[in-house]
Amino acid sequence: MSRFPETRLRRLRQSAPVRSLVRETSLEARQLVLPMFVREDISEPVAIGSMPGVVQHSLDSLRRAAADAAETGIGGVMLFGIPEVRDADGTGADDPHGILNLATEAVAAEVGDALVVQTDLCLDEFTDHGHCGVLDASGAVDNDATLDRYRSMALAQAGAGSQLLGLSGMMDGQVAAIREALDTEGFHDTLLLAYSAKYASAFYGPFREAVDSQLTGDRRTYQMDPGNRREGLREALFDVDEGADIVMVKPAMAFLDVLRKVRDAVDVPVWAYQVSGEYAMIEAAAANGWITREPAILESLLSIRRAGADVVLTYWATEVAGMLR
């Protein structure tokens, strides 16, 4: 085995050009997706207090922001809708005139040829109880009844022009149910992104402000226990078997080990979501002068890519695209 001084590992770090030449993991704008929020009852963007720099958009500001995002060269946008009125079944979710479907039509018309227009397929933003599915008489989430609602949502979103549906509800059988519904109605090319390993995480807090969540209690009966890694892999394998085109690990930062295991086990693209709490922590630390903001952002994203993510959903997508130019 070679020893110092014959072997000098620092040779590969001696200058910026050398470091760039031998870097193992890259970060490119096309590997980033921007989550965006659109709210029904506003005419101007509304700032989200716990997510500095992120807003709830009006339809008009969403269209403009999507066009700006397309100019940066990012890979796509993921749309979340915030309705004015909610009910127990989340009927606004599959209403063709509901906020998310109207926003999807607008963004698809504006930038559908430039990036991948994606939609969140989940009921939590649309229900008056804040859960990701409909409830049974006991107040528990009814998995199979929820699948019927997801089928209807999928058809509405695909009909509105969504190119990729983000299945984030964590219901058993959701991928197979939605794929069958789409194929039956001729939407063979609509992509399915399964949020396969989605954990019941403390890092979702700012997102709940962003979507004005009505949730009381928690989602631990359907989102995953943070202590389980093997189960995350099992979920991903089930979703691939059911027809998922892409699988997701969420959150990213606290579950990089799960991300690596999933990447090694499946042969479809693997994505990760850098969630609102991850964003908020870095922004807060930088605002207090405790860390240097831009290097911390880039390092956090590079770590997610290094762990195996082909694409990262991040609220910094367009800003980072500018940094990378």
Which CATH number covers residue 247? Answer: 3.20.20.70
Question: 261 catalytic, yes or no?
Answer: no
Say which residues have a Cβ less than 8 Å from residue 288's Cβ, sequence separation at least 6.
Answer: none
- Residue 216, pLDDT score: 83
Query: CA dihedral in degrees (81, 197, 141, 277; nearest 10)?
Result: -50
Domain that holds residue 296: 26-324
What is the spatial distance between Cα 322 and Cα 86, in angstroms, rounded to a whole number? 37
- Residue 3, pLDDT score: 86
Tokens (6 digits) for 278: 């991850």
Quick check: pTM over 0.95?
A: yes
Q: Angle at the Cα of 202 (from 58 to 293), degrees rounded to 5?
A: 65
Question: 250 catalytic, yes or no?
Answer: yes
Is 252 in contact with 309 (CB distance < 8 Å)?
yes
Report helix, strand or coil for 217: coil
Q: Give the pairing of strands 270-273 and 311-313.
A: parallel
Indicate whether 130 belongs to any domain.
yes
Indicate whether 16 belongs to any domain.
no
pLDDT at 1 over 90: no
Indicate whether 79 belongs to any domain.
yes
Categorize the per-residue pLDDT at 2 as very low, low, confident or very high, splitting at 50, 70 and 90: confident
Say which residues have a Cβ less than 8 Å from residue 164's Cβ, sequence separation at least 6.
Answer: 76, 116, 117, 118, 119, 190, 191, 192, 193, 245, 246
The whole-angstrom distance between residue 280's C-alpha and the CA centroid of its chain comes to: 16
Lowest mean pLDDT among 96-100, 165-169, 211-215: 211-215
Indicate whether 151 belongs to any domain.
yes
**Mean pLDDT computed over every residue of the chain:** 97
Q: E strands along the chain, which residues? A: 32-39, 46-47, 55-57, 76-82, 116-121, 164-167, 191-198, 246-250, 270-273, 311-313
Q: Angle at the Cα of 99 (from 95 to 105), degrees rounded to 5?
A: 85
Q: Considering 250, 261, 263, 305, which one is annotated as catalytic?
A: 250
Using omega within 30 degrees of 0 as the cis cutoff, is the peptide bond preceding 226 cis? no
Indicate whether 8 belongs to any domain.
no
Helix, strand, coil % (nearest 5) of the chain? Answer: 45, 15, 40
* φ, ψ at 196 (rounded to 5°): -70, -55
What is the spatial distance between Cα 181 and Cα 121, in angstroms, rounded to a whole number? 14
Q: Considering 129, 149, 198, 261, which one is annotated as catalytic?
A: 198
pLDDT at 156 over 80: yes
Is 179 in contact with 173 (CB distance < 8 Å)?
no
290: DSSP letter:
S
Report helix, strand or coil for 160: helix
- Residue 86, pLDDT score: 96
- Residue 273, pLDDT score: 98
- Residue 176, pLDDT score: 98
What is the spatial distance between Cα 207 and Cα 273, in angstroms, rounded to a whole number? 12
What is the chain's length? 325
Indicate whether 105 belongs to any domain.
yes
Is 105 in contact with 156 (CB distance < 8 Å)?
no
Query: CA dihedral in degrees (80, 263, 253, 15; nearest 10)?
Result: -120
**pLDDT tens-digit readout, 13-58:** 999 999 999 999 999 999 999 999 999 999 999 999 999 999 999 9
Indicate whether 81 belongs to any domain.
yes
**pLDDT tens-digit readout, 73-116:** 999 999 999 999 999 999 999 999 999 999 999 999 999 999 99
Indicate whether 21 belongs to any domain.
no
Among 217, 75, 207, 223, which Cα is nearest to 139's? 217
- How many domains does the structure of the chain reveal? 1
Is 242 in contact with 173 (CB distance < 8 Å)?
yes
